Amino acid sequence: MQQLKITEVEEKIYKGAAERVLELNDLSFDYYYFIDKNELSLKKLEKKLCGKYQGKTIVYRSGDANHQLLELSKALRKKEYAALVLLDPFGMQINWSSIAELKGTRSDIWILVPTGVIVNRLLDRAGKMECCDKLQSFFGLTIEEIKSHFYLEKKVQTLFGEEEIIAKVSQPIEKIACLYAKRLKTIWEYVTDEPLVLRNSHGSPIYHFVFASNNQPATTIAKQIIQNL
């Protein structure tokens, strides 16, 4: 987490998603799968939820979420299965290639994109992008494509004459959300135009909660949910 420049306070903000999902009484699913690479964290979650949600079949799986997404996509190729996928790639662990495997399946997806809390910080002002591999796997784009979205080349006058510098675009966090939504549209037909923005105590955007689906009515419901929050 230190490599991704995340503070302890920010790490605590995103937790608790499992309970929020289980408390959605208007939605009913045959199975609830909770996946975490950290087996200890998963056991703590199981202990915390044990006995609290009677009548709900909860499955806990320890492992890489990328692998689990690939397995899910295979299962969803059988037309009798459908899934609502909630992804919380807080440390940008989920690769775009894994998400892309859901194309053509009966799936809807909510994804909490760490636009301000992580991605924007990796897009440093100088354009060095020390974690370029992480950015490439997250967006599913080449480093040059990423640079074209978030950096501009400018000519400035200095004491030594005209020089070219790299400058970061204005409003980068909003542009991160727009780019990710654009990427989701290559997988699902409908994506929320205005995702839910989660802000820190100073009012700065740190996450964008985005919904995507091949079902237009589902997208309309998602928009209503966002507007009412």
Q: Are the C-beta atoms of residues 182 and 113 closer than 8 Å to each other?
A: no
Kindly report, residue by residue over 76-101, the tens digit of the pLDDT: 988 788 999 999 877 788 999 999 99
First and final CA of the chain: distance in angstroms?
29
Q: What band does 9 get if pLDDT is binned at 50, 70 and 90?
A: low
% of the chain beyond a pLDDT of 90? 50
User: What 3-state DSSP class applies to 142?
Assistant: coil
The whole-model pTM stands at: 0.84
Q: Residue 79: what pLDDT?
A: 77
Q: For residues 103-127, b (16+ Cβ closer than 10 Å) or e, as one string?
A: eebbbbbbbbbbbbbbbbebbeeeb
Tell me whether strands 83-87 and 107-113 are parallel, antiparallel or unpaired.
parallel
* pLDDT higher than 50, residue 134: yes
> What CATH topology corresponds to 8-125+170-228?
Rossmann fold (3.40.50)
Angstrom distance (rounded) from CA 140 to CA 221: 28
Q: What band does 30 get if pLDDT is binned at 50, 70 and 90?
A: confident
* pLDDT higher than 50, residue 181: yes
Q: Residue 3: what pLDDT?
A: 43
Name the residue ranges covered by the structural domains of the chain. Answer: 8-125+170-228
* pLDDT higher than 60, residue 176: yes
The number of beta carbons lying within 10 Å of the beta carbon of residue 54 is 5
